[in-house]
Amino acid sequence: MPNVPPETQISLERINLFGENRLNSTVYLTWYGTDLDGFVEHYEIRIGNSDWIKTKVQDSTFLFQIDANQDSTDIEFYVRSVDNEGLVDPSPAYLKIPLKNSIPKVSFEQASLPLDTTNLVITFRYMASDPDGDETLKKCFIRANAGNWTPIDLNQKLITVIPENPAQIGSGKAKIYYGLNNVSSITLDDFNNGGENILQLKVQDIADATSNIDSTPVLYVRPQTSDLLVVGGHNEKIQQLYKNLVNENYIHADYVNFAGNKGLNQPKFWDPSFKLLASQYDKVFFHTDEGNFSNPLTGADGKLLDFAAPIIQKLIDQNKKVLISTAFSTRASLDIIGDVMSIDSFTSTKGQAFFVNDSLAKSPILGYPDLQPTNFLLAIDPFYHSQEAEVLYEAQLTPNGGWSGPKTIAIQRKSSSGQVNMVLFTVELHKLDKLPDNLNRVVSKILNEVFNW
């Protein structure tokens, strides 16, 4: 008795959709075969006039391609069964699939954008999608203001824009960084350094359909005007004290207060935002207290120096110079900052160390005058330093409640070439102001002499 060929059917006999109701280019199909005198060994499928393709499966999700500049098409889909003796269904199942290309979408993640004013750096994340399947996306473009559209990598969703010449005010080129990269990939034009900017995005799919344009709010970008960046982590009153201290002892500085606006001024992305900002400067003066902050994007809690420590290490590795003035809460964790700041440990004894206002902080290094607090300081933070650091100041402390421990309240650390590249005070400098001329001399010496290499 001759072998009977198998029969094949597609789960759908027809798709009666027209116009705007057509399917998008991603379609799920199922099929099956029967054989009266044997069994179906496998299937073969064909799209249009292409070759038959062998498969064992009975369903699949297809991404059909629509020709460029066409918003719709009809796909001819065939499937046939092959039985256990190799006999092929002579009448393959057929389905006409009406497709319409969908317009892709792109948008800035608004929560990731900086506030309306930023120092040099704009970092953001964006989202791109296509109803036909994200794999149908082909290109993404960015532009600044009325500049040219510049293609960017669709796989890179964290973007940083920074002026190519940070000190040049006016319209010019800006560098684009992907992710956490330290090297710029491409540039865009018409970026307004020292002025207002609007960034825009659009995407394009494989059928050359283009999304609507998404735009940022107006972002004012402050230019670089100095080789010194002063980073504040205090309230406005104390922030002004540090401004005065720097202005009296350094020719000019750029300022940013990460504690301002209830902490919303801090970087949403410390890396790359703060990293790329700080790396434009030769010197960074970071002053903050022991308070905790929440990252405005992630909600992560920590001290500003916890967030900044990895970046400070990178700056030091790049031969930048960093001055830090801070304080620590009792038994503060050094897990993140200990190695970076060359702090080995605090004392483990009970009680507190007082720094009374008739005592002095003295330096074993020539040229550093005595410092003294105006107010009685409770529970200050002397520490044991790491071997690579040297004492800059020791305080005459009054132990209380059984306290004993180190006297060091400031250290300096040198680069491999023997130049000082980090100075750390764990008693905040603005509190050592009883001898204001001496405090000015210390700040001036560090910024103008010790860091002048």
pLDDT per residue as tens digits for the range 253-285: 999 999 988 888 999 999 999 999 999 999 999
d(C-alpha 121, C-alpha 424), whole Å = 27
For residue 99, which phi and psi values (nearest 5 degrees)?
A: -120, 150
SS3 450: helix
Contact 115/265 with Cβ under 8 angstroms? yes
Please enumerate in sequence order all residues whose Cβ is within 8 A of that of 104, keeping only pairs 6 or more positions apart, or say none: 128, 129, 130, 131, 136, 137, 203, 204, 205, 209, 210, 211
Q: What is the pLDDT of residue 75?
A: 86
This prediction has a pTM of 0.83
Nearest to 219 by CA among 302, 301, 145: 145
Please tell me the predicted confidence (pLDDT) of residue 21.
56
Query: In whole angstroms, what is the distance from residue 165 CA to residue 146 CA?
Result: 19
**Superfamily of domain covering 7-100:** Immunoglobulins (2.60.40.10)
What is the predicted pLDDT for the residue at 435?
Answer: 98
pLDDT of residue 329: 80
Amino acid 165: pLDDT:
97
Is 290 exposed, middle or buried (CB count within 10 Å of its CB: 0-12, 13-18, 19+)?
middle
Q: Which CATH architecture has domain 228-450?
A: 3-Layer(aba) Sandwich (3.40)
End-to-end CA distance of the chain: 98
Q: What is the pLDDT of residue 72?
A: 77
Domain spans of the chain, in order of start: 7-100, 105-222, 228-450
Sign of CA dihedral 290, 235, 278, 184: positive
pLDDT of residue 1: 74
In this structure, whether the domain defined by 105-222 belongs to CATH 2.60.40.10 is answered with yes
pLDDT at 134: 86
- Which pLDDT score is estimated for 68? 65
Low-confidence ranges of the chain (pLDDT < 70): 13-14, 16-24, 68-69
Q: Do domains 7-100 and 105-222 have the same CATH topology?
A: yes
Cα distances from 97 to residues 57, 104, 212, 305, in angstroms, run 20, 21, 27, 60
**pLDDT per position as a tens digit, 140-182:** 999 999 999 999 999 999 999 999 999 999 999 999 999 999 9
| Residue 69: predicted pLDDT | 66
